[in-house]
Amino acid sequence: MSLLDQQSVFSAMLQAGPFAVGDTPPLAHPFSRETKAWVQHIHGNQLLKTKYRSVRNQIFDLLGIATYDEVLALIHDKELRTKAAERAYLLLGNMFGIEGTGQEVIRHLHEYARTADDVISSLRAKVLAPYSAHIETTNEIVTTWDPVELLLALFDDRYHKKARFEAKRKLALMGLAGSIDQRERETKIGEKFLTFLNFLNAFVWSPDCKIGELDIRYLYSTHNRENFSCSAVKVLSEEEARLIIPAVGEKLTLVKRRRFRDNGADIPIYVTIRKKEPSAKVLKLLRKNEKNPATAVDDELGLMAVLNSVNDVKRFVRHLTRSAARAESFMTLEDISDTLTGGEYRGTATGSSGKTSMLKFFARTGGMRIEFILHTNRSYLNYIYQRDVAHDEYEVKRIFDTGVIEFLFPPDIYHLDLQKIRDHQLAWFRRRIEEN
């Protein structure tokens, strides 16, 4: 099911539907021409009528009102608005399982608002960087964190259509951020992240290495003209790399490597460890058209590693399971996908390429489930640079092709040609990748 489909779990957010933000707030007289046209639009569609009743009841319950007529009183009466906000904090705090005082609930709401803003900021900073000014959020919405204030802005004629849409969008993103925060508290993901790091330092990396000790190396690679895949790669020291000026079709890539010990030999490994940020989790929920983090976000803890050869990859996997046993925990590998030695990657994510080479699995150990992505030097360079495989290109494809960009920045609000922007950004990232 598409994110932009009327069957979507986010259908109340869509501009191409009965819940669209219009030029004027949705407070027309019940017998007005606008209201009659709206009723005609949903007539005969039981799902839309049910969704409308659900949305209406949520609005009334959060604001503590029984009719839309009471909305105007809240907009213009500060004392009523303050009482409605205090009541809303209690309701939201209990819904998200936030323990503590009203101030603790307010602190969490601030965090949810910050996460909602970070979702937009992250897109402005990278995938849509050249269009940052076009999609900048209205100042009054950026500075607002109170759900009641945001909800009332939807019905306030003093706000422009764009600002009212952004208030609605921020509410939706804050709701997802709240669900993610609740899930993190329930699963204690922060504690598990620290446990994972301690496991690596105590049992996986070489005992001769200090915590955080890294060897600086460079991958000097040559790339095919046809698809910019890696045809040859050599590992250089810092001193050797200083003497290299990459020509066209060549790359010099920094890797800061740790070491692990297997059968008495220290094997170099470049590692990047990831704990997915709340804003990234929100975007993943949107891409998956899901509101439940428990079903859609399965890669909260992750590690990507780069080794010299396929043989070193195999040795590292065996070293991992042995290390877990030494830490007094069994380790099982789940959902294994191996395309390092041939075959086609069968990823289910929109925008992913079948040409991607890697060993991917989830390791269950110590009460955690950790995603591992293992590369050789060559497959890692393809992951960064190869046409139709490079991660920067993949990011553009998945955020556009899943409908997330149109969902967050509908053309009737932002007046952007999204297909043209998608093609432009893919070409822009490709130029940046291939130019030295």
Who's near 26: CB < 8 A, 6+ residues apart?
Answer: 154, 155
**pLDDT at site 38:** 57
Whole-Å CA distances, 213 to 258, 270, 273, 370: 7, 12, 15, 23
- For residues 366 and 199, the answer to whether their CB atoms sit within 8 Å is yes
**pLDDT at site 354:** 59
- For residues 381 and 360, the answer to whether their CB atoms sit within 8 Å is no
Banded model confidence at residue 37, pLDDT cuts 50, 70, 90? low
**pLDDT tens figures, 140-195:** 999 999 999 999 999 999 999 999 999 999 999 999 999 999 999 998 888 988 99
Statement: residue 326 has pLDDT above 70:
yes
* Rounded CA separation 318/331 (Å): 10
**pLDDT at site 351:** 45
Mean pLDDT score, 341-369: 73
Q: State both tokens at 271.
A: 């590692």
Banded model confidence at residue 14, pLDDT cuts 50, 70, 90? confident
**pLDDT tens figures, 98-147:** 998 889 999 999 999 999 999 999 999 999 999 999 999 999 999 999 99
Who's near 50: CB < 8 A, 6+ residues apart?
Answer: none
Question: What pTM value is reported for the model?
Answer: 0.90
Mean pLDDT score, 417-426: 96
**pLDDT at site 297:** 76
**pLDDT at site 3:** 85
- Quick count: other Cβ atoms within 10 Å of Cβ 430? 18
**pLDDT at site 50:** 79
- Residue 272 DSSP SS3: strand
Sign of the alpha-carbon torsion through 94, 99, 102, 104:
negative
Q: What are the two backbone dihedrals, phi and then psi, of residue 411, each rounded to the nearest 5 degrees?
A: -55, -35
